[in-house]
Amino acid sequence: MGTTERADGRPRRRRGPGRRLVDGTVTALVRLGAGPRGTVLLTVPGRASGVPRTTPVTLVEDAGTRWLVAPYGPVAWVHNVRAAGAVDVRRGRRRERLTVEEVDAATGAPVLRQYLREVAVVRRVFDVSPDDPVDAFVPLVATHPVFRLRPA
């Protein structure tokens, strides 16, 4: 992902051609029921347009609870999820409607650490290691939101 600067000086991540190609390939595989373990297609209505938007995401599961992590920060799908409160996930022919609840930093920190352990490709965007103590992840939940998923 490339970066540009927002009006407030914060970096804005943009998907480059390579990332778009990877996302397109992963999307096609997940639609067929293949692709990386834990990866699903997340569909949520656009907060302004209402048009369904779909993106591949990797879910984390812990003790029967599924979690959605925003490794690249509050990107468009995060804002859409916050506005909708519910999402559809799909892998192959299996589809589910789930409610989402954004969790606080204390709850999200261990999930974020587990996510980094399981999804190596995103480690480069974090300033911590998956082996760091959970306390190191607490401040990161503010910039990498974590959502608890439950059946609708």
20-36 pLDDT per residue, tens: 888 889 899 999 999 89
Q: Is the per-residue pLDDT at 102 higher than 60?
A: yes
- Please indicate, yes or no, if residue 30 is contained in any of the structural domains: no
Which tokens belong to 59?
Answer: 């879910």
Within 13 A of 109's CA, how many CA atoms are on the CB side?
Answer: 13
Residue 147: Cβ within 10 Å count = 22
- Please indicate, yes or no, if residue 26 is contained in any of the structural domains: no
Per-residue pLDDT tens over the stretch 43-79:
999 999 999 999 999 999 998 999 999 999 999 999 9
Q: Which residues share a beta bridge with 88?
A: 43, 97
CA distance 63 to 148: 12
Could you give the number of structural domains in the chain?
1
**Closest by CA position to 68, among listed 52, 86, 83, 53:** 86
Q: Report the CATH number at residue 133.
A: 2.30.110.10
CA distance 30 to 87: 17
Note down the domain range covering 59. Answer: 38-151
- Please indicate, yes or no, if residue 132 is contained in any of the structural domains: yes
